[in-house]
Structure 1
Amino acid sequence: MTLHNPIIKLYLTITVLRLGGNLFSQHPTLVFKNIDVNSGMSQGDVRTIYQDRHGFMWFGTWDGLNKYDGFNVKTYKEQHNNPLSIQGQLINNIIGIDEHFLAIGTLKGLNIFDERDETFRYYTIENKIKNVRIVKSEGKELILMMDNFLFSFDITKRKFSKIDTKISRQLEDLFITGKFGFNRSEKVIRNVYDFLIGYPEHFGNVKKVLGENIVNDILVDKKTNLIHVVTNSGYFTYNLKYFSQKKMVLPGSFKCILMENDRIFVGTESKGLFIFDSKSQQQIGSYTSIKTQTNTIGGDYIISLYIDHQKNLWCGLVGNGISYCNLNEKIGKTIYTSGSANEKKLMSHNFVAFKEFTNGELWAADINGHISVLDQDYNIIQSIKPEQIDKTQQHIFIQEFQETKDGQKLLMTDKGVYISDNFRFYKITKPYLTENQKYGQGMVGLDDTLGLIATRDGMLYFHLKKKEIIDKPCLLEKGSNIYSMFKGEDNHLYINPFFNGLVVYKYEQGHFVLKYKINDDFNINDRYESKDTIILATTKGILIINKKQGQYTIIDESEGLPNQNLYSVLPDKTEKGNLWCSSNRGIFKYNFINKNIDAYGLNDGINALEFNSQAMAIRQNGDFVFGSTDGITIIYPERMILHKKNSDILLYNFRINNHSAASYYDTSLHRYKIPFHENDVSFSLININFPNSNTPIYYRITGIDRRFFESKNPADIRYSDLPIGEYTLEVKLPGQDDFWKTLAKITILAPWYRKWWAYILFLTAAGGIIGVILRLYINNKLDRQKAFIENQKALEKERQRISSDLHDDIGSTLSSISVYSELADKYYHTFPEKSREMVQKISYQTQNLMERMSDMIWSLKTASQEKISIKSKIQDHCRDLLNVRNIDYDIRVDENVDRHLTEPGLRKNLLLILKEAIHNIAKHSKADKAHISVTFDDHCLIVAVKDNGIGISNHDIQIGKGLSDMKKRAEDMRATFSIESVSGKGTNICCFIPIGIIRFNR
């Protein structure tokens, strides 16, 4: 069929005229968001779209792979020096294998992506064309089209196999002989494959269709028994029962087709997106790109379509990236936004005050003082500029609208109070009013006649009937900046000074009686009253006051509110206890009975998340209207039942010490088992929605955290140095206080020395050590007892020695002195000469006794106690005996002798041996030189006295001259004593004291 046929030309012209405005009209229900290279995409031609099991969106382009989480786009491109990067820049299609793996077909081959460590494994067949299109995933097997031939890929064995079946041969025949568009939908191969599986009898018919047309995509609708075929020349349907019944739905170049419920979505080459009713094949909408509007589709060339789990429709564009919209019926919608078609009608899209009057008109004031008057269908029926309100003013900020009992409209503004009468305005003022007193922020009626106007400088009395300010000063809250004021159902007056809490008065017979105060720093923006309770929307959250007792509680973000800077608390009649709250983080519904919270954002027909005070109203038809920084949002509470909840919170990028946690996961226990020395845990949490928003995510790790912590979506979290133990990661969304979800179980493993068997080993070792210590203690105690006994014996021995010395030396000497004293006294008168001789002997004996006592005392002191060393004692003795006889001498004493020689007996005997030897040199040797030494060698302390005198005969050696005493003292020291003497050549006396018997001070 060609377009040169005049009959066909006439048919196409009539078809286009019949469709008329529907063909290119903008359908009002779908609002698009756009993602392109400016958003971070690798390239703008999107060939294929896929959503994985976690909810992430994947886009395949002519130049790389893209992953989107609702906030950011992450790209994957081939890196020539990295074998774990994706191989192939042109992405044909994407399909999921399981929760961890994706299969990606590229012009270069097959890639398997592991999301746990974000690496790719590349597979291809040598000597084959590597262009891979994935047909489908069947268990552990992938069905692939390569070079128009069908292959299977065993995921477990990583092995390709050629498929040779009737279906494979038919499919190969179709794609070799058929006509397929170069920019066709990448799903067409899968769709044809599935069609042949389900309808093998239609192989010939399909082959004929593919031979006649350049086919881009097909769709089978079992309900209507039709197959839809989109081609470069038109959109056709064929009856599955009577395949020859062909119908052209619409001429043109169509690239892809998709069905959802009873709607068929078709992407075109140049006309954007068309929507058809599946039963009648009538067009019910179309969407084209309007560059001046931000919420239209991003381009008119649509090459691929996809519907995700949340029923978002994704359109892959050529050159313009991705456009998507949500197909669910919204709980609301936003009108008069900056991106809407009628934006030129408005001065601003930031709405700050609303009021629906009894005549059904909704007055909406924007931030510039422009008023739009809307009817029940939200059409603008009147526009009022600031200069129409007051010719002297170019800008007016409207704080609040009021309505009098006679139906007149009051405007509370920063320039004063204005009354509107049939769109004519006049100002209520007094010449003495200050600028702050002109700033009207609210009004209440005290009775039928008297009212109060709240200003930034106290309050003014107002005559309700005369519509004028009364010249009477109001002393109530004088000078205060009154932010808001209202009269309760209990006839009490509630006054909120600017960020200064709440003051409650009762008005009785012209007087104000203070009831109670709430001292806190909040502003009040809205209220809802029940019989005993007032619920206030404040800058600190929801304030609930018991009207009788004046007691209050505050519900804020710590109790799950998405935001605590609230502008409204509108009651919902469809469910008891529901209040709708606008805030600086979207709109949420709070139920003050069961404490449930449901948050709504950009997915729900809301265009902006920041709303304004006084910009809220409940219309007579039940609509909730909120003013935001970009448009008027309308909420339909009755649609709540149909509303789809947000997706779950996802755990991803779980890392242990900055490495992938996949290897630590125990599949049998469904738990991460982490060694104690690798206890640094980090992870990310995200609540994936499209479009996404920074709604709070609450998390905790049980065993560490006592409460849930809040973080903005998405959240990057780290726990360092987790102690040994078992933990659970739990998360929840706002309002889900009783519905948290476990995302991961974690065990920090104890080291080997904290295992049960290690404790047994330690106890056994400790018992052994205690036994050894106890044995050593007992042995040491026994040794000390033995040493004590030996010491006592030594002391007793020393006492006996000292006693013996005192008796033998000192006792005998004292006896001699006593005898000499008696004789001296006896001979004093008769024999004076003998008496003097006795006195001289007494003097000699006394001196000798003192010397012996000195030696005894010296021997008892250690070197640390005695300042006189052995060497000094020898020098003193030599000086007294040898110097007078002109005998030269030299003395050598090792410096360690005094420190090591501490035993009193040894010290005494050593000294006496030396003194006796020196005495013999002086008295008998006739020597002129002497050498005295006390030195250590490796085994002994050597005491040597040598002279060059006449020597000693053998007879003298045997019989005396003190030699026997020296020998006896050496024996007492268990020392070896020797005398060597040669007549005429001198004498050499040596005493060898073994080191083993010397007591060292260690």
Structure 2
Amino acid sequence: MPRLIAYICVFLLPAVSSQAQHRKYVFNRISLKDGLASNQVNCIYQDKKGFMWFGTAHGLQRYDGRKTVMYRSGSASDRYVPSSGIHQIFEDSSKLLWLRPGNEAGLFDPETFRYKKAIIKTRGDIAPRAEYRMFKSSTGTVFMNVTRHAILVYDPKTNTFSEDSSQIKLPHGWFANTMIEDPQNKDIWLGCDSGIVIYRPSTKEVFYKDHNPHQLPVLKEKIFHDPITALFIDSQRRCWITTWPKHTESTYCYNLTSGSFLYGNNLINRNGVYGEVHEFTQQSNGTIYAFGTMTLHEFDQSQQKFRFIRDDHIDDFGIKFDKIHSFCEDREQSLWLATDNGVFVFNPERQYFNTTKYIWNKGNIVETDLAVNAIMESSDGTVYAGSWGLGTLSWDTSMKPVPNKVMAGLPDKVELRQQWAFFEDQQHKKIWIGCQEAWLIIYDLETKRSTYCQVPGLDEKTIRQITMDEKGNIWLGTQYGHLVKWSPGAGFGQNFLKGFQVIQNIGTIIYKIVPDNQGAIWVCAHNKGLYKFDIRSGKQLKYYHANDKPGKSLNSNMAQDIVRYSDSTWFVSTGVLNILNPYTDSIQVIGTDQGLPSGTTTCMELDHDGNLWIGLINGLARYHPKRKTFTLFTQRDGVINGDFATNASVVKRNGELLFGNSHDIVQFNPHNLYVRASPLEVNITDFKLFNTYLPPDSIMNLDKVRLNDNQNSITIEFATLSYLQRDKTTYFYMLEGLDRNWIRADMGLYANYSLLPPGSYTFKVMCRNADGVDSPTITTLNIHVMPPFYLSWWFISLLVLVLAGIIYLVHRFRLNRLLEMERVRTRIARDLHDDMGSTLSTINILSEMAKMRVNKDAGKTAEYLNKISDNSSRMMEAMDDIVW
């Protein structure tokens, strides 16, 4: 019988010892295909807002978790960032970024995109092989270490780096390779070509091996009189030092408190591979890393040595490099590595998925791709897995491989090594193992002995499922649909085989048998749907399939798994998720349109918090039944291989979940994956007017963005700058004044508005994490689109004034005409009045005279009458004029 040995390969890099295996990390890579200007990345920095800045061989880039933005001018103006390689980035107190492009330095303003080059003044010629390295102390002083020459100090008043002997004065003929600051007493340590120099800013003193008035122990150590190439003081007052004598590099750890060496002097074992340590760094959790040329090592406190971190074989989720230039920890404890092969990101603290890889050894034969068909945890905590053709694998409670005696004493029969189903009868302390051609192994956990038999009545078909109902009956399901019950009254002696009884023959593969607490068992069948049988009579009670009426049908007859959530709610996997209520026989289908990440469900488990975990081809999904939300975990989270087997999953007693596939077992504690804290505040990362990007920092500093009437097409991009939760955060936005409801953002994380009408708007954006927690604040941006001039208030006011003036002039002209006519009429009336008065007076006089002479002088009377007649006619004419 071949002996099975399983080894664990977890997500971290191999340790120093070739025989020790350590947890492996999952690295996410950012490269040219993700928008990097070059895979040669020299430095990384995270600013106070959370943006990641990359200094590449082709210039400066900013990364927000979704896209990279290039800061490069098309002109040769020194007001813009050079397009040459950026080798250092850090932030000053005024939120400007110090950049070191090659052998120059300058300050970059992210708000205006302007770059101000600093002047570098040195005394004498600089050696051709001199390198430039900037360093900022805790007081804000910026130094420029020109190796093989001198240390320069920056003067912000003159914008100049120059030599200043009042700051740091190295011993004659000494040159510094590296500079650090003691985090406790703020001394500046310099690793030089002739040893260590300590500069004390408080007293302006310099100490070294030939000038050690305070008798500092570290300066007395002769091994530190060699060239120092790397230097670091951690939070435990340990000094990590790399020296380079004539022939080879050596690494030491020195305790500054006790003045003694720690852990020996051979901390890094390269196993014959050339490498160089350029720097040390310490993560916020206290872990020490060393990195450089062909070097990425993590210090293992228990082994008191560094272990090599490198894994080329996991495609895009391992790490492959020749040189690491920079190491940066962000605010979520993720570690960012700037390498000659792009940017690699990993998070040791929050990588909650661990992978146990199958490895089977027999002599010189090594098998790694094993088809594991079933996984179970026994009552003693041992995890057993049944493989196709290689028998039983086993691990202890911490998933370390342990030997087992399942196959000991059994014949070397191929069918017994082709195992499909595992189940523990806890009452009798026996594990039932279903195998090919109806073979059954019974392994006694107390005696560590196995017996085997071929179950009668199964037509030599594979046993695919084993379970126990509430009455203690054991149920078996086969590849060809035999549903078999074994009665415990038969015992495990001579009558054992007599206890088996074929209850039904469904005629197809039985994927899953699950008992309920109401005297029934549920059976998932290949292309025949879901059955419910009575455990006593074997009678079929219910049958659910895809051809029933709407609301009562399964999505498909390919029923592969079933999980009980409550008496009234069962989850059924048919490629998608079906929610069955057995009391009403109603079925709710949840597919990709309802949020299921993929229509490839294979297996399911319910964790201790009541959430459903679903195995998919492309990862693992968590379904929250109350919120009805899905969260997908993929390769970026550590689930390297998907395509999980139908029965290869289990919930351990401690709450951990195991999901198996053809390559490995994924192990995780679901409780660690709940994010109860509020997500980070959403940042507006870019503001685009038509196709032109405007500085987002400048935009956000405005109380209101004012746009002209022809500037009415905008795009607003946003993100939380959380690189750990970027794929598990949902964004919602709205433009108040235009949108009535919140709009869910797509994967692009932008809002586009074209042809905005004039008016005032408020853009709002918020986010929600995978556990339904909203961001604490809503990010807002006020926008005002100016109307065209003909709709502006001043133009309308002017138009009203002009119109009112015209109306007034017309009215005034008409009024003047009326008044003039009135004056004419008045004059005519007055003249007519005078004329008529005179004429009537004349007629009156003539009438009196005619009366007096009517009897005396007829001729004179006639003359008077003629005159009266003439005057009367004139008066009549005047009367006509009055009527006019």
Same fold (TM over 0.5): yes
TM alignment of 1:70-109, pairs within 5 A: 86-87=81-82, 89-97=84-92, 102-109=97-104
Q: CA distance change for structure 1 residues 493 and 338 in 2, over 3 Å: closer, same or farther?
A: closer
Question: Structure 1: which amino acid aligns with 2:174?
Answer: G
1:745 is displaced (CA, Å) by 2.5
What residue in structure 1 maps to residue 22 of structure 2? Answer: 28
Q: Do the aligned partners of 1:461 and 1:469 also contact (CA within 8 Å) in 2?
A: no
User: Of the candidates 144, 149, 173, which is equivalent to residue 169 of structure 2?
Assistant: 173
SS in 1 for 2:207: helix
Conserved in 2, the CA contact under 8 Å of 1:453 and 1:462?
no
Q: Residue in 2 aligned with 1:327? A: 348
Deviation at 1:33, TM superposition (A): 2.7
Does the residue aligned with 2:176 lie in a helix, a strand or coil? coil
Query: What is the Cα deviation at residue 663 of structure 1?
Result: 7.5
The 5 A counterparts of 1:402-417 are 402=423, 407-411=430-434, 417=438
Counterpart position of 1:536:
571
Counterpart of 1:699 in 2: which secondary structure? strand
* Amino acid in the other structure paired with 2:394: V
Deviations 1:910-965 (A, max 9, x none): xxxxxxxxxxxxxxxxxxxxxxxxxxxxxxxxxxxxxxxxxxxxxxxxxxxxxxxx
Rounded to whole Å, the distance in 2 between the matches of 1:187 and 1:87 is: 30
Give the distance between the partners of 1:343 and 1:757, measured in 2 at CA: 89
Query: How far apart are the structure 2 equivalents of 1:99 and 1:722?
Result: 36
Aligned CA distance change for structure 1 residues 416 and 108 (closer, same or farther; 3 Å): same
> 8 Å contact 1:702–1:730 — kept in the other structure?
no
1:185 and 1:255 in contact (8 A); partners too: no
CA distance in 1, matches of 2:455, 2:781: 68
- Corresponding residue of 1:919: none
**TM-aligned CA deviation for residue 657 of structure 1:** 0.8
Sort the Cα spacing of 1:660 and 1:368 in 2 relative to 1 into closer, same or farther, 3 A: farther
Q: Which residue of 2 aligns with 1:757?
A: 793
Give the Cα separation in 2 of the matches to 1:493 and 1:467.
22
Aligned residue identity for 1:711:
D
Q: RCO (CA 8 Å, sep 6+): is it higher in 1 or 2? A: 2
User: Is 2:674 aligned against 1:635?
Assistant: no
- Indicate whether 1:747 and 2:821 are aligned: no
Q: Match of 2:329?
A: 307
Change (3 A) 1:50 1:663: closer
Deviations 1:100-159 (A, max 9, x none): 853311224235556578x563514387689764433999996655773534365xx9x6
Partner AA of 2:206 in structure 1: F
Distance apart, 1:160 and its partner CA = 0.9
Report if aligned partners of 1:174, 1:207 keep a CA contact under 8 Å in 2.
no
- Max radius of gyration: which structure? 1
1:257, distance to aligned residue in structure 2 (A): 1.8
In the alignment, the residues of structure 1 paired with residue 296 and residue 526 of structure 2 have an alpha-carbon distance, to the nearest angstrom, of: 53
Q: Match of 2:744, as an amino acid?
A: F
Q: Equivalents in 2 of 1:366, 1:472: separation in Å?
A: 26
Letter of the aligned partner of 2:159 in structure 1?
Answer: F
CA contact (8 A) 1:109 1:131 kept: no
Q: 1:770-789 CA deviation, whole Å, 9 max, x = no partner?
A: 989x99xx9xxxxxxxxxxx
User: In 1, Cα distance between the equivalents of 2:689 and 2:695?
Assistant: 9
- Residue 660 (structure 1) shift: 1.2
1:716 positional shift: 5.8
Structure-2 separation of matches of 1:462 and 1:309: 57
Pick one of 289, 298, 309 that aligns with 1:265: 289
Aligned with 2:515 (options 461, 471, 487): 487
Shift of 1:521: 0.2
Taking the aligned partners of 1:691 and 1:65, their CA distance within structure 2 comes to 23
The whole-number CA distance in structure 2 between the counterparts of 1:68 and 1:515 is: 54
For residue 965 of structure 1, what is the aligned residue in structure 2? none
Greater Cα shift, 508-517 or 69-78:
69-78
Q: Displacement of 1:616 after TM fit? A: 1.3
Residues 274 and 354 of structure 1: CA distance in aligned 2, closer, same or farther (over 3 Å): closer
Contact 2:358/2:370 (<8 A) preserved: yes
Q: How far apart are the structure 1 equivalents of 2:286 and 2:467?
A: 53
> Which amino acid in structure 1 is aligned with residue 242 of structure 2?
V
Q: SS at the partner of 2:44?
A: strand
- Counterpart contact for 1:267–1:273, Cα < 8 Å: yes
CA offsets per residue over residues 586-605 of structure 1, 9 Å max, x none? Answer: 44555545778776555655
Residue 113 to residue 499, structure 1, CA distance change in 2 (3 Å): farther
Q: Given that residues 421 and 463 in structure 2 are in contact (C-alpha distance below 8 angstroms), is that contact kept between their aligned partners in structure 1? A: no
Contact 2:325 2:338 in 1 (8 A): yes
Distance 1:238 1:552 in 2: 68
In 1, the alpha carbon distance for the partners of 2:359 and 2:71 equals: 35
Q: Given the alignment, which residue of 133, 152, 171 partners 2:154?
A: 152
Equivalent positions of 1:93-132 (< 5 A) are 93-97=88-92, 102-113=97-108, 121=115, 123-125=117-119
Matched residues in 1 for 2:388 and 2:80: separation? 52
Q: 1:726 to 1:744 in 2, by over 3 A?
A: closer
Residue from 242, 245, 255 that aligns with 1:230: 242
Say yes or no: does 1:706 pair with 2:708.
no
How far residue 92 of structure 1 moved from its aligned partner, in angstroms, is 3.3
Q: Residue deviations 1:811-863, cap 9 Å, x none?
A: xxxxxxxxxxxxxxxxxxxxxxxxxxxxxxxxxxxxxxxxxxxxxxxxxxxxx
The CA RMSD over aligned residues, in Å, is 5.8
- 2: CA distance, partners of 1:90 / 1:191: 31
- Classify the secondary structure of the residue corresponding to 2:778: strand
Question: In the superposition, relative to structure 1, how do residues 288 and 143 fare at CA in structure 2: closer, same or farther (>3 Å)?
Answer: closer
* Structure 1: segments with no counterpart, 5+ residues: 1-20, 779-1002
Post-superposition Cα deviations, 1:776-810, rounded to whole Å, max 9, x if no partner, equal xx9xxxxxxxxxxxxxxxxxxxxxxxxxxxxxxxx
TM-score, structure 1 as length reference: 0.58
Q: 1:139 to 1:392 in 2, by over 3 A?
A: closer
Q: Distance in 2 between matches of 1:393 and 1:23?
A: 38
TM-score, normalised on structure 2? 0.64
Which deviations, in whole Å up to 9, do the C-alpha atoms of 1:472-529 show, x marking residues without a partner? 7848xx6677654433222234355557875656566453344988313056555554
113 and 683 in structure 1: CA distance in 2 versus 1, 3 angstrom threshold: farther
The SS at the match of 1:174 is coil
Q: Which amino acid aligns with 1:250?
A: N
* Displacement after TM superposition at 1:94 (Å): 0.9
Percent identity (aligned)? 16
Question: Cα–Cα, structure 1 residues 663 and 64, in superposed 2: closer, same or farther, change >3 Å?
Answer: closer
Q: What is the match of residue 203 of structure 1?
A: 206
Question: Aligned partner of 1:731: which letter?
Answer: C
Distance verdict in 2 for CA 1:170–1:490, change over 3 Å: farther
Deviation at 1:659, TM superposition (A): 1.0
| AA of the residue aligned to 1:173 | K
Partner of 1:624: 657
The change in CA–CA distance for 1:592 and 1:750 in structure 2 (over 3 A counts) is same
Offset of residue 200 of structure 1: 4.3
**Using the alignment, how far apart are the partners of 1:586 and 1:140 within structure 2?**
47
Alpha-carbon distance in 2 for matches of 1:25, 1:451 = 43
Give yes or no for the alignment of 1:354 onto 2:354: no
1:216 aligns with 2:210: no
Distance 2:753 2:451 in 1: 65
For residue 381 of structure 1, the aligned residue among 403, 407, 414 is: 403
CA distance in 1, matches of 2:97, 2:359: 40
Q: Distance in 2 between matches of 1:482 and 1:248?
A: 58
Q: Is the 8 A contact 1:590 1:598 kept in 2?
A: yes
Q: Distance in 1 between matches of 2:360 and 2:341?
A: 18
Q: What is the alpha-carbon distance in structure 1 between the residues aligned to residue 456 and residue 801 of structure 2?
A: 96
| Deviation for aligned residue 1:43 | 6.8
How many Å separate the matches in 1 of 2:619 and 2:424? 29
Distance in 2, Cα, partners of 1:581 & 1:198 = 60
Summarize the alignment of residues 7-18 of structure 1 with structure 2, pairs less than 5 Å apart.
none
Q: Is the 8 A contact 2:732 2:767 kept in 1?
A: yes
User: In the aligned structure 2, how far is the partner of 1:765 from the partner of 1:110?
Assistant: 60
Contact 1:364 1:373 in 2 (8 A): yes
Query: 8 Å contact 2:650–2:659 — kept in the other structure?
Result: yes
1:336 corresponds, among 350, 357, 365, to 357
1:29 Cα deviation (Å)? 3.7
